[in-house]
Structures are given as structure tokens and as C-alpha cells.
Structure 1
Amino acid sequence: MCHVLVIEDDFLIADHIIQLIERAGGTSFDQAASQEEAIDAARLRPPSIIMSDVNLSAGTGPAAVEAIILEHGPTPVIFVTGTREACHVSWPSMVVLDKPINEQALIAAFQSLAPA
């Protein structure tokens, strides 16, 4: 089972990502629109993989991801952002993809990082 945490403050983009990841093998999903919501969601159900925007309406994706990783251990991360230059983080299992979303690239990144 592959549980995915989608951190995205635009509901339509989050929904699109969830649809793509479901096609690619994601089996369950939590959605968070802010840094705090993401951290709380991960506490309730630690994700197998995180899909995150960088800039959120409240907080940032990288700050949420860092807090989640510190609390739950190494977790693969895919940042999907329109502001690649604002993504100043680096983890071993991390990919940064640009918006607008390239569906094939997102699915390929997910399939390469998601636990089997």
C-alpha cells in the first residue's frame, strides 16, 4: 500500500495530482493546504511518499516536509512547483518538477520513488 500526502493549496491542482498518482499506483491519499495541516496529517497517518508545492498560502512545503522527515524518518518527496528557484532543499529521495504539470514526468517520478 502506498499512502501519499499531497501538500498543495490550490484544490484543483491537488485534485489533478491525486488523480495522476492514483493511476500510477497510489492507494490512499491525504491532502493538506498549509504547512501546519501537512504536519498534522502526517502525524495521523505517516505518508509513504510526499507530493508538495513549495509556496503555500500558510507556510511552505519544504518546511512541512522537513518537519515530517524529522519526525517520521526518510520519506521520498516530489516537489511540484512554479517556483523551482525557491526550493532550496535537498534530500536523497527528492525530485523537483515544474508547473504546469507534465503528467508523464510526474507519473514517472512517482513510480521511481514510491515504495513497492
Structure 2
Amino acid sequence: MCHVLIIEDEPLIATYLQTLLEDEGATSFDFASSEEEAVAAARAHSPAVITSDVMLTQGTGPHAVSRILEELGEIGVIFVTGTPDQCEPCAPPGIVLSKPVQPADLAQAFHSFTAT
């Protein structure tokens, strides 16, 4: 079972990411559109992988991810953003993909964290 937290403030993009990741084997999802929602969702159900936009309705994806990683430890992170130059801090373990995301790139990034 692979649970994914999708941090994205555009519902259509979040649904698109969910569809692509379901095709790659993800089995459950939580969604958040703000930094606080993301942290709360991760606390409630620890994800195996996180996808995150950079700019959110409130706060930023990188700050949400940093807070989550501080609390929960190492989790695979894929930043999917239209503003990769504003991805701070997006240092490893994060992978940064630009929007519009290519399905093959997302699949490769996802499997880099889920391969056993």
C-alpha cells in the first residue's frame, strides 16, 4: 500500500496527479491546498510519498514539506511546480518537476521512492 499526500491548490491539477499516481500503484491519497492543511494531513496519515506545489493558497509547499519531514522523518518528495526557481528549500530528498508535468517524469520520480 502506498499512501500519497498531494499538496496542490488547483483541484484539477490535484486530480490529474492522483490519476497518474494511481496508474503507477499509489493506493490512497490525502489532499491539501495550504501549508497548515498539509501538515495536519501528514500527521493524521503519514504518507509514503508527497507531491507538492510551491505556491499555495496559504504558505508554501516547501515550508509544509520541511515541517512534515522534521516531524515524521524521511519521506520521498516530488515538487510539481510552475515556479521551480522559487522552490526554497527544495534540496534533496526532493525532486523538482516543472508544470506541465510529463506523466513519464512523474512516474519515474514516484518509482524512485517506491522501488523495493
Contact 1:78–1:109 under 8 Å retained in 2 = yes
* Displacement after TM superposition at 1:65 (Å): 0.3
Sequence identity percentage: 50
* Coordinate RMSD, CA, aligned: 1.1
Point out 4+ residue stretches in structure 1 off by more than 6 angstroms.
Answer: none
Show the counterpart of 1:66: 66
Structure 1 residue identity aligned to 2:103: E
Gaps of 5+ in 1: none
Gaps of 5+ in 2: none
User: TM-score, normalised to structure 2's length?
Assistant: 0.95
* Displacement after TM superposition at 1:29 (Å): 0.4
State how far apart, in whole Å, the 2-side matches of 1:105 and 1:11 are: 21
State how far apart, in whole Å, the 1-side matches of 2:91 and 2:47 are: 16
User: TM-score, normalised to structure 1's length?
Assistant: 0.95
Show the counterpart of 1:36: 36
Contact 2:62–2:90 under 8 Å retained in 1 = no
State how far apart, in whole Å, the 2-side matches of 1:47 and 1:115 are: 15
Structure 1 residue identity aligned to 2:8: E
